[in-house]
Every structure is written in structure tokens, then in C-alpha cells.
Amino acid sequence: MIGENGPFSLSGKKILITGASSGIGRSCAIECSKLGAALIITGRNSERLEETMAMLSGYGHLFKALDLNDGDATSGFISDISNLDGVVYCAGIQKTCPSKLIQRADIEAVFETNFFSIANINSLLLKKKKLNKGASIVFISSTAAGIVAESGNAVYSASKGAITSFAKVLALELSHQKIRVNCILPAMVKTPLLETISVDKEQLELDEKRYPFGYGSPEDVAYAVIYLLSHAAKWVTGTNLLLDGGLTLR
Amino acid sequence: MELQDFVKKFADQFDNTDPEEITASTRYQELEEWSSLTILVVITFVTTEYGKAVTGAELRSCETVEDLYNLIATK
């Protein structure tokens, strides 16, 4: 099933992963490489990207330290890469702030990374015709996108809601090219990002008790990404795959 | 940063508590309005107003508003 020729194989597929210098993006890169994908990984921190590179299986992977908020650099990068069979948008930031104290600069920073730059690189990929027929695009959204409310999370939620809505329209527009577009909506996942969210450890431990299966691991998300990138999901487009360890069961 | 000014601004962060009710000696965690959201509000208020980071654990470690003021002053 998961071998070289199984339905979940990524063998022979060229896949771009953003935000691969840590957390979910790094884990996606590692797991996709195990299933035979040839990867192009990006992230802002070149040292940590190289660490990710060292963890990959197989050959033919490339990395590029790149701030996707830099439009010109992103455009040049997209022009230079070869055609892709998959894209995974993992780059994202979080900012905890109660609604009444939100400042415009915070909104701009979160939306810049979580929505504007992703919509921008996506358009570049389409304009420069970098996606092969049958390609699969996966957005890492969040349960924060209109599923679960957490105090202090309004701006992040809004940015993920934007991505989820964007993906739906993109799925329709790209359907005639047989390109599939899907979102994954994870609840809390144990990543370095979590440390920037946490008010404190006690509160996190209490929060995790609300999850029948506890918080997720980056690999839990990576396996869902693999499914959506693979031939196994050839009938799946425009969907939001909820990964929440049972949080929203009641 | 000065204590009375801090107390006034701290009190201003609450929406369902009479500001007069909050003084330097108020045990703020005993206020009816104290919750995980007010913790978040105070953390954000301290960051934006004073450019200093306090944690939820630190907020819980202080008893009075003055204790909190002293903690922030030493940061």
C-alpha cells in the first residue's frame, strides 16, 4: 500500500513545501521524502532549512532560503523552478491578542504571512504555468478557521478563514486542469509555534485534556498531507480535512 | 512607570469591574471578572504599554496590583 507503486506513493512527484524550516512544514518534508517525492523546500531561516535537508530521505531535493513576503525574490524563485506535481503551504505565524487590543500592524503581519504571501506565490505558480496536470495543492489551515473559537485568536482565525475560503474557489478554478486543491484543518499540534501561543504550561496541559486523543504531532498532519498529495486522493478536491484528535466531537 | 498611573491603566483593562474598586492593594485574582481572557488582556496590555513580557504564571504568582507593578518594574 505504501510502497513504491502503492496508491500513497509520491515516487516521481516534484513537490514544493513552504515553511519547511520547522514544525509541520519540516515534518511534511521528511515524511514526503520517505515516500519518494523530490522536494523543493523553502523557509526564512537557511540554517534550519539545511537541518531539514539533512533529515530527508532519497535524492534530488533542493532548498531555498526565502521570505515569501518578499514579492520580487519569490517571483524570481518561482521562475527558476521546474514544474511541480504538488504544493504544500505550511508557512504561517500566530499572534495571540484579545480583540480589543489588536493593532493594525499585528493584523497586517499575520495576514501578510498567512494569507497575502500565499495567495501571491500561488498566483505566480499558475501564471508561470508551473503546475502539472493532476497536481495537488494542500493548504495548512486550522480549526481556528471558523470551527473552534479560542480567546485571543481572532486575527489568526481570520487569516486561516481567508485561506480556507480562497482554497475553495481555487479548487473550482483549477478543476478543468485536473489540479486538486484541499485544506487541512488541524487543531493544536505540538510544534515550536505552540510555544509562541502558550500563555503558560499549566494552561496548555489543561487545554490538552479537552482532546480525547491529546494534541497532534507534526507527523499526524504530514500523513494527511501525503494522502492529499497522492494518487489515493485523486477524487478529492475542495475539501477541508479536520484533524482534531476528537476535540470537536462535542 | 509610576504606581498610581499603573493602577489606573490596569483597572481600565476590565470591562465589568468598577475602576474605583481596583487599588494598589486589590487582590486582582479574586475579582469576579478575572479569567483566562483577562490574563490575556493584561499580558497584551503590559507588552504594548511597557514593552515588557509577563507570563500567565507570573500573573498568578502575584497577589496585589502593587505586586504586579513591582514585578514589571524590575523587568
By C-alpha distance, the chain B residue nearest A102 is B44
Which pTM value belongs to this model? Answer: 0.91
A250: pLDDT strictly greater than 70:
yes
Q: What are A168's three cell numbers? A: 475553495
* Helix/strand/coil (H/E/C) assignment for every residue in chain A: CCCCCCCCCCCCCEEEEECCCCHHHHHHHHHHHHCCCEEEEEECCHHHHHHHHHHCCCCCCEEEECCCCCHHHHHHHHHHCCCEEEEEECCCCCCCCCHHHCCHHHHHHHHHHHHHHHHHHHHHHHHCCCEEEEEEEEEECCCCCCCCCCCCCHHHHHHHHHHHHHHHHHHHHHHHHCCEEEEEEECCECCHHHHHHCCCHHHHHHHHCCCCCCCECHHHHHHHHHHHHCHHHCCCCCCEEEECCCHHHC
Cβ atoms of A246 and A188 within 8 Å: the answer is no
pLDDT for residue A2: 53
A152 contacts in chain B (CB < 8 Å): 37, 40, 44
C-beta atoms of A101 and B44 within 8 A: yes
Q: Are A105 and A55 in contact (CB under 8 A)?
A: no
B20 φ, ψ (degrees, to nearest 5): -65, -25
Residue A208 has pLDDT above 60, yes or no: yes
**Which residues of A are less than 8 Å from B48 in CB distance?**
101, 103
A100 touches chain B (CB under 8 A): yes
Structural domain boundaries in chain B:
3-14+22-73
pLDDT attached to residue A191: 86
Cβ of B40 within 8 Å of Cβ of A201? The answer is no
Segment A171-192 shows an average pLDDT of 95
Task: Indicate the residue of B41, B45, B56 with minimum beta-carbon distance to A203.
Answer: B56
Confidence of residue A161 (pLDDT cuts 50, 70, 90): very high
Per residue in A74-93, pLDDT (tens digit) is 999 999 999 999 999 999 99
Q: A150 or A4: which carries more pLDDT confidence?
A: A150
Tally: H helices and E strands in chain B:
4, 0
What does the block give as the cell for A212? 480525547
User: What residue type is assigned to position A137 of the chain?
Assistant: I
Q: Which of A27-41, A192-206, B38-52 has the highest mean pLDDT?
A: A27-41
pLDDT at B25: 96
Share of chain A above pLDDT 90, in %: 89
Closest CA of chain B from A66, distance in Å: 29
Q: What pLDDT, on a 0 to 100 scale, did the predictor assign at position A194?
A: 76
Within chain B, which residues score under 50 in pLDDT?
none
pLDDT-derived band of residue A4, with 50, 70 and 90 as boundaries?
low
ipTM comes to: 0.77
**What's residue A196's pLDDT?**
66
pLDDT for residue A203 is more than 70: yes
Contact predicate A42/A29, CB 8 Å: no
**Other C-beta atoms lying within 10 Å of the C-beta of residue A39:** 26
Sort B68 into a burial class: Cβ within 10 Å, 0-12 / 13-18 / 19+: buried
Mean pLDDT of A31-51: 97
pLDDT bin (cut points 50, 70, 90) of residue A199 is: low
Q: Which of A94, A97, A205, A210 to mutate to test the interface with B (most CBs of B within 10 A)?
A: A97
CATH 3.40.50.720 fits A14-243, yes or no: yes
pLDDT at A33: 97
Integer Cα distance of A12 and A9 in angstroms: 9
Give the H or E element holding residue B44. helix B36-50
The model's pLDDT over A103-126, given as tens digits with 9 standing for 90+, comes to 999 999 999 999 999 999 999 999
Q: Please determine, for residue A3, whether its predicted confidence score (pLDDT) is greater than 70.
A: no
- Whose cell is 504550561? That residue is A201
CATH 2.40.128 fits B3-14+22-73, yes or no: no
Give the other-Cβ count within 10 Å of A93's Cβ: 15
Residue B33 to residues A133, A166, B18, B27, B29: CA-CA distances in angstroms? 56, 38, 11, 12, 9
Give the separation between CA A82 and CA A236, rounded to whole angstroms. Answer: 25
* A199: closest CA of chain B, how far (Å): 5
Q: Is the pLDDT of residue A165 over 90?
A: yes
Q: Residue A135 contacts by C-beta under 8 Å, 6 or more apart in sequence?
A: A84, A85, A86, A87, A179, A180
Chain B residues with a Cβ under 8 Å from any Cβ in chain A: 36-37, 39-41, 43-45, 48, 55-57
Of A82, A79, A88, nearest to A62 by C-alpha is A82
Give the span between the Cα atoms of A22 and A28, in whole angstroms. 10
